[in-house]
Structure 1
């Protein structure tokens, strides 16, 4: 359960990245929510202020009328002078004042003698009705009311109730009591009804907002489905086309812009399908032509090889010109035969007929053998070939014939382009992969040349004198051999710094195996093959 909760953000993030509909609907809802929050907040504040101002004006008017009614009671009985008579008048005045309060049951009253006045003959004392709370009075309000000339003053307060607090107003005026002096008259008005009205309005706005958000989400989803569904269909159809199902097409209905998009997509798919079919037919024809020609040339080449070998074996009995011709014929027959072998191999790769003959192989020993086979040629060109083998799990399940052919191609290129400088063959391995790298310090290649180095029949410098190969198929075949093993053949090259090829073959079908050799490789130790020591 906890793992599922922890994985929830990752799932949501993945759904957000994958689903265009989710992003559009969520964005629309969030923007609508933001707009409604701003508008609703403004309306709530405006309506709340309007309700408060209206209730405040009503409270001030009620307080003024209540004060006038109470004052009229005292004025009409101006002859009363005893404390008892004035107390009865006070009670009558408060009852008269209550008649002008809209909800007298929720109102509290207080008549407080104003301080800082001359002591009068009669003192009614301070009177509080319905639990008037003196703590509601602030010094500023008392000072303002005491100094007023009949103008009412108010103050917002919080009134305690059984369920908490509610907003209220306390309004203060002045009463002149004959023979008793000046009294401050305070009336507390509850704004609970106004608060309830505002809360109902806000609840209605919230419910309406939620309903509106749901409507916006629904409308957006419907619109998005109308627009995105054809796009999703186009994406799915494109994936099927890419996987080789060239007969897949979009379903088109109507005449709107999305229908025109679908028809255009189908027309494009028809054109692509036609082109792919035509190119596939041409490719098959080309592969069959190369394969047939290569096989057909094997018979005359065998005859030419036999005749050439006879002439080559008897070149010592021929005149110098004929002897040289026999030698050239023998060399070119070898090149021609090598080219046919390469073409046949490429035709097998193209036809998917190439297979591996896997056997346990010590890659270091295999590299030693191939380096020894090119030792004389390397010495002739002035290049010293050395083997770097740091140590590790060198035995691997590979096709030794194909690995040997890759090494022959890489060593031949290194000798041809190494400018007579040292050539390093590095063999290393780890638990996941085995790797072989061939590094020369020759002319190197540009970035554009490096990108084309595995193209068929392409050579970096066709005019350069070559001592090995020369058909332009060696590296292409080497790459196919690497792929057949589930491995990769990488290249690094810099102008003037040389070139390095690295073959990495994973063990046991390992995925994302890290090559044990850096590119370009770094020397960590060497075995001198020229001296024949390992």
Structure 2
């Protein structure tokens, strides 16, 4: 099991990842430097290998030439040392051979007898003073002992007082009259070649680093020059999006960046004009709705009073007149509801809504709303159920607005529930509270779900409704949820019913995370409160929670 990564490292990596994702300039410079480093490394490596090979080959050819000359000179000396009687003073010849080899080459040398010979005479092995003969490998000696007239070489490490130096050993065979076959080894120190190669490699490394740094610096300034206007355009666009419509990009020069700035500024001018016109039109519309709504209240009040008088005396009229009085009474009530909704929407549009927040027990509020809608539900044979598993039910909300949302959702559930049970779920956690109203009626398709919160829209305008309605209920409910900092969600499927879920923060101003209730919620649990439960009993059980 791998060891856990410390939190500090995770935080640092996260910040670096964020900087990498958000900085185009950093990514461009980093990628350019990366590929430049790879390219320069490959080129420098190739150059270093080529130079090293050439230096080594040149020095090797020089050593081989010296060894060949020394071998020829030594063999000639040995051949000329034979007397007329066929004898040779081996030791005298050895001394002369040493002098001859030293004059031909500057390398160290060694003369070793080839093992396994029986001759009349032998010559004492000879080597340069201080030479470590162990550097001559047995493999090289085996090759030289074949005596095929060729020179054999091998790279070795020559011990020195400071450590070791690179070297080349070249071996050849010598034939000593009356003494048999001997091996001549020339050991050349190539430290000067290594020093030259080290200097070249150091120069290549420094030059490569300077080249990479120069390319990175040039890329930084070029990218900054190119991205600077883009960054300025992005910042200006952000300020425009925040509502600062007077922000513009400075126009300098005649290049493509200047063309971009002019085009952007023309677009911003056009957007500012259109947004200003729309804002003015919206203000006029809001003012018109507000003024009309206020102006209608006075004549509506008069009509309502007259309509109530006629409605109270409908028993004295003929059936046709009585029915007319009932219709007038119903439509005046609907007109009042519509006028109240219009006034509420105008307040939301004008941003003049203020919450009257207080600690509220959501279960009790739902029970009150259920009791208020129960007569209508009984008319439609819809059973009302409450599912409240317990939890942090008290929250800081505007009870009047939450009650209005519940009344709207419950009224829609009664209208579209087809006489099937209507289940209200209430649940919460430490951060949020949620209320879900679930019916098992008609349901809605995808096209209807997209418009369900639109103003003045109804899923089925021709269908007879129990609770009336103006088409503004869900729009106002959405505004009520949002002004609390919450949200109103919906789930629906044709033939399976609909569920609306209201989720609000427990404390005003806090953000909500996951809703305490799934959408749609699970089926009612065993022991869910039934319609015949008395409110007092329910309150007592809630107090036990």
Q: TM-score range by the shorter chain?
A: over 0.9
Instruction: Tell me, yes or no, if the aligned pair for 2:110 and 2:185 is still in contact at 8 Å.
Output: yes
Does 2:66 match 1:62? Answer: yes
Contact 1:386 1:530 in 2 (8 A): no
Q: Which residue of 2 aligns with 1:155?
A: 154
Shift of 1:160: 2.6
Q: Distance in 2 between matches of 1:216 and 1:307?
A: 89
- Match of residue 113 from structure 2: 113
Q: 2:97 aligns with which of 88, 93, 97?
A: 93
When residues 490 and 130 of structure 1 are mapped into structure 2, their CA distance, relative to the original with a 3 A threshold, is: farther
| Range 288-297 or range 461-470, more displaced | 461-470
Q: Is the 8 A contact 2:491 2:498 kept in 1?
A: yes
Q: Is the CA contact (8 Å cut-off) linking 1:416 and 1:466 kept in structure 2?
A: yes
Name the counterpart of 1:17.
21
Task: Tell me the CA shift for residue 469 of structure 1.
Answer: 3.8
Which position in structure 1 is the counterpart of 2:510?
510
The residue number in structure 1 matching 2:3 is none
Distance 1:177 1:112 in 2: 12
- 8 Å contact 2:81–2:88 — kept in the other structure? no
Name 1:185's counterpart in structure 2.
Answer: 184
CA deviation string 1:273-322 (max 9, x = no partner): 11111111111111111111111111111111011111100000000000
**Structure 1 residues 350 and 134: CA distance shift in structure 2, 3 A:** same
Match of residue 52 from structure 1: 56
Point out the more displaced range, 283-292 or 378-387. 378-387
Aligned to 2:542: none
SS of residue paired to 1:527 = coil
Contact 2:449-2:492 within 8 A present in 1 as well = yes
- CA positional deviation for 1:25: 0.2
8 Å contact kept, 1:21–1:224: yes
| Structure 1 segment 290-301 matched on structure 2, within 5 A | 290-301=289-300
* Residue of structure 2 aligned with 1:529, choices 501, 511, 531: 531
Mapped contact 1:459–1:472 kept (Cα < 8 A): yes
**Cα gap change, 1:148/1:82 in structure 2, threshold over 3 Å: closer, same or farther?**
closer
* Deviation string, structure 1 residues 217-261 (Cα, Å, up to 9, x no partner): 111111101111111001100100000000001112111111111
User: What are the superposed Cα offsets for residues 332-368 of structure 1, whole Å, 9 maximum, x if unpaired?
Assistant: 0011100000000000011111111122222111111
Q: TM-score, normalised by structure 1?
A: 0.94
Matches within 5 A, 1:354-369: 354-369=353-368
Aligned residues of 1:423 and 1:441 also touching (Cα < 8 A): yes
Cα gap change, 1:6 to 1:167, in 2 (>3 Å): farther
Looking at structure 2, the residues matched to 210 and 304 of structure 1 have their Cα atoms a distance apart, in angstroms, of: 92
User: Which residue of the partner structure matches residue 519 of structure 2?
Assistant: 519
Alpha-carbon distance between aligned partners in 2 of 1:304 and 1:130, rounded to the nearest angstrom = 134
Q: Is the 8 A contact 1:109 1:130 kept in 2?
A: no
1:79-478 mapped onto 2 (5 Å cutoff): 79=83, 85-101=89-105, 104=106, 107-117=107-117, 119-478=118-477
> For this pair of structures, how many residues does the alignment match?
528
| Partner SS for 1:109 | strand
Question: Gaps (5+ residues) in structure 1?
Answer: none
Name the CA shift for 1:188/1:271 in 2 (closer, same or farther; >3 Å). Answer: same
Superposition TM-score, scaled by structure 2 size: 0.93
Are 1:76 and 2:80 counterparts? yes
User: Does the Cα contact within 8 Å between 2:90 and 2:122 map onto a contact in 1?
Assistant: no
Whether the 8 Å contact between 1:432 and 1:514 is mirrored in structure 2 is: no
**Deviation, structure 1 residue 493:** 1.5
Residue pair 2:421, 2:439 contacting (<8 A) in 1 also: yes
